[in-house]
Amino acid sequence: MHLINKKIVMAKDIGIHGNLFGGILMAWIDEAAAAYATEYCYTPNMVTVRVGELIFKKPLKAGQHIRIYGEVIELGNTSITLKIEAYKYSLYSGEETMVCETNTTFVRIDDDGTPTPIGETVKRNHTNRLNELVGY
């Protein structure tokens, strides 16, 4: 997994129960995943088409640090799917505790919003990364 974003929970992000609003964490995840997908695919023309089940495992409080990690789990002709995990980070110990996870899919589009193929360079780079992981 690659570290793709860091956030600090601010008082303005807290709901009446003293925890981070789930919708704010969802927006942070979508933003981080979109930035990662656009960089990975060398294009700003990516849109979110699917966010899988979001599983909130732990609450977050004001002042806590969050680290969001992502990795490519599938690269299609026009789409990319990422596994995303968010962790609470302790400044004191460096310990990370998972707070949320999901998969999210983005599609490359043209100016009219029609899906368009992801470039061959991206696909070749992706294949090379996979081969490095398995030792080829």
For residues 132 and 136, give the distance between their C-alpha atoms in angstroms, rounded to a whole number: 6
What token pair was written down for 44? 């700003």
CATH class of the structural domain 2-134: alpha beta
CB of 74 closer than 8 Å to CB of 37: no
CB of 80 closer than 8 Å to CB of 106: yes
Token look-up 């969050």 returns 66
Helix, strand or coil, per DSSP, at residue 36: helix
Helix, strand or coil, per DSSP, at residue 12: helix
Q: Where are the domains of the chain?
A: 2-134
pTM beyond 0.85:
yes
Question: Could you read off the pLDDT of 67-113 as tens digits, one per residue?
Answer: 999 999 999 999 999 999 999 999 999 999 999 999 999 999 999 99
Helix and strand numbers, DSSP H then E, in the chain: 2, 6
Question: Could you read off the pLDDT of 22-59 as tens digits, one per residue?
Answer: 999 999 999 999 999 999 999 999 999 999 999 899 99
Token look-up 């609003």 returns 21
